[in-house]
Structure 1
Amino acid sequence: MQSLIKKGAPVQAIKAGGYLELRYLKHRNTFATTQKLDADHFVVLATGEIKKYSHEAKARIDNLKNLTRSFNELRYRVHANFFGAKNELWITLTYKENMRDEKRLSDDFKKFIKRLNVFMFGRGQKMGLDYIMVPEPQGRGAWHAHILMKRKDGQNFFIENGELAKIWGHGFVTVRRISESTNVANYLVSYLGDLPLNEAQNLEIPFDDDAVKEVQVEGQSKKFVKGARLFLYPKGMQYFRASAGIVKPEKYMTRKKEIEIEPTYSYEHEFQIDEETDQLVQVEQYNFVAARKAKR
């Protein structure tokens, strides 16, 4: 993968386990095209036309920005805490009915974790599990929960679907291992951010043609709209929940140095901060664990 960021450039570094991400931000000031008149109106300088601010659209954009930041933070937390070890599982909880209340999902999950801890370690014992829980809204309005979970003591961790379904008590569950070859962080961020094309169209979610991607799912080609699921999250909702033992990534400012491996992924995008300022963001991601395995 091509390196985009020049050596010596000032970058924000995010280190999480064997994963490193570098982010280079460059402000590019342009001439003003509009002038604010008051809290609700602005004038287009080229034409003199007075227009009204869309506060509803701004609130929606701000909500999407916050969710995008949460997506990135989720990816960092997963990289820092889950490595495909024997004490780790990926669990999905679903409801047998079309359960549409995100607050109920939160309450049911808290009770589930307490019951699971009792099942695993006995009544009265301290919490022996660490987890990251991510709620997933469906196009039909239902809620699911994805949980990355691990035993704190490092011992082997597995539980049959049927047994876990009894502990959950609300519907269906799936239990799977997190293999070392599974890039679960990027999968979760992509899968939980994207929405099937037909669902996005039925819900009248706005998207551009370049946001549509085609992927292979269980041997079949399906189309998804990148980032469309973000529109289904209520404003202000906590996108993911992490237990106290989940390690946070290390973030610091530095300058890019020579790196002995090539980035596994790199991209850049430009967005408008306000009427006068654009920002170019260049991102490079490095996976040192995968690089070491490739050399064996």
Structure 2
Amino acid sequence: MKGKYRAYNIKTIETSSYIEIYQYETPIISKVKENETSKSHLEFLEVENNKKSFEEMNASEQAESLSRKQKHYENMRWEIARLVDCNFDSQTKFLTLTFKENEQDIAFTNDEFRKFIQRLNYRLYKTKKATLHYIATWEKQRKRGAIHYHVILFKFPFIKVKELQTIWGHGFVKINKVEVDSLENHGRYLSKYFAKDLDIKEHKKKAFFKSQNLTLPIVKKFSSTNEMDLTNKNVIYTNEYTQKIPIFKAFSDNGSRNIEFEDRTVKYTKIKKD
């Protein structure tokens, strides 16, 4: 195999409030990436250019693509919750942007959202350098199909709503301070907006956005013959489940590679930090 690979059977993900532990029955073999610890597990990449577009797929391929990517986006919700937990502060706001016209073209609205972020960044910080801290997604209104945007803004300074609406320039804006009963629930509460309309987001080029200056969860992967010692730890949730892992076999006569699957048991533990 080309490149560097490593095997691990334990993965931990640490945020401001929690430590999550995944213990795998069968080791995972992964390729080592440069600067891996500095990269987020939250990837906002959609269909690669060398793959079929959603419109080019037949019905069965579209169904398979939707099922696969829906699980990806559902998992992404928890990645977003972790990002919120790592970045939440007293200045965090929740912003909704709407269009006065019934805009339904994702390419157009995404471009307008991008330009809004640039204008807002310059208004607040007087620089074209990306300084805003944010996560965002779009949503379609069920009845009209009108697109609007949900944005979580971290370290966000005060700005008058009227001025914010002028900077947006397309319609109504609503901004609120996030009020949740406890700090550790912020991520779970806010991430629910990113799990909406998964069925129609799957084949779009860009469904989620984030700034590149966010604090990321600390992810560690290592091998151990012993289970982790959780004595005196504040364990708030445990679960054991089975996942399918691919087993690659020899190539078939037509040149395609045969793939079979086997079960792997995963033990998940979530610990609340003191």
Shared fold by TM > 0.5?
A: yes
Distance across 1 between alignment mates of 2:142 and 2:239: 29
Distance across 2 between alignment mates of 1:177 and 1:271: 39
Runs of 5+ consecutive residues of structure 2 not aligned to the other structure: 1-8, 27-58, 247-259
1:256 — aligned with what? 228
Contact 2:93–2:178 under 8 Å retained in 1: yes
Normalising by structure 1, what TM-score?
0.61
Q: What amino acid sits opposite 1:248 in the alignment? A: L
Contact 2:85–2:187 under 8 Å retained in 1: yes
1:278 — aligned with what? 263
**Correspondences of 1:182-201 after superposition (within 5 Å):** 183-194=185-196
User: Across the two proteins, how many residue pairs are aligned to each other?
Assistant: 215
Contact 2:131–2:213 under 8 Å retained in 1: no
2:81 is aligned with 1:75: yes
**Correspondences of 1:1-296 after superposition (within 5 Å):** 10-26=9-25, 54-82=60-88, 84-85=89-90, 87-122=91-126, 124=127, 126-140=129-143, 141-151=145-155, 157-179=157-179, 181=182, 183-194=185-196, 229-235=197-203, 237-254=205-222, 255-258=227-230, 260-270=232-242, 272=244, 276-288=261-273, 292=274
Of 66-75 and 108-117, deviating more is 66-75
Q: What amino acid sits opposite 2:99 in the alignment? A: Y
Calculate percent identity across the aligned residue pairs: 29
Question: For 2:77, what is the secondary structure of its paired residue?
Answer: helix
How far off is 1:14 after superposition? 0.6
How far off is 1:146 after superposition? 1.6
Contact 2:99–2:171 under 8 Å retained in 1: yes
Distance across 1 between alignment mates of 2:67 and 2:218: 28
Runs of 5+ consecutive residues of structure 1 not aligned to the other structure: 1-9, 28-52, 195-228
- Report Cα offsets for 1:237-278 as digits up to 9, x if no partner: 444222121122221125522253433444454455576423
Normalising by structure 2, what TM-score?
0.66
Contact 1:70–1:239 under 8 Å retained in 2: no
- Report Cα offsets for 1:67-101 as digits up to 9, x if no partner: 2332232222212111x32x322212122233222
Contact 1:13–1:251 under 8 Å retained in 2: yes
- Report Cα offsets for 1:150-205 as digits up to 9, x if no partner: 34xxxx722233321121111121111134635232123334325xxxxxxxxxxx
Distance across 1 between alignment mates of 2:21 and 2:266: 10
Q: What is the root-mean-square deviation of aligned Cα atoms in Å?
A: 3.0
Q: What amino acid sits opposite 1:22 in the alignment? A: I
Distance across 2 between alignment mates of 1:73 and 1:100: 27
How far off is 1:285 after superposition? 2.7
How far off is 1:26 after superposition? 4.2
Change (3 A) 1:192 1:269: farther
1:203 — aligned with what? none
Q: What amino acid sits opposite 2:138 in the alignment? A: P
How far off is 1:13 after superposition? 0.7
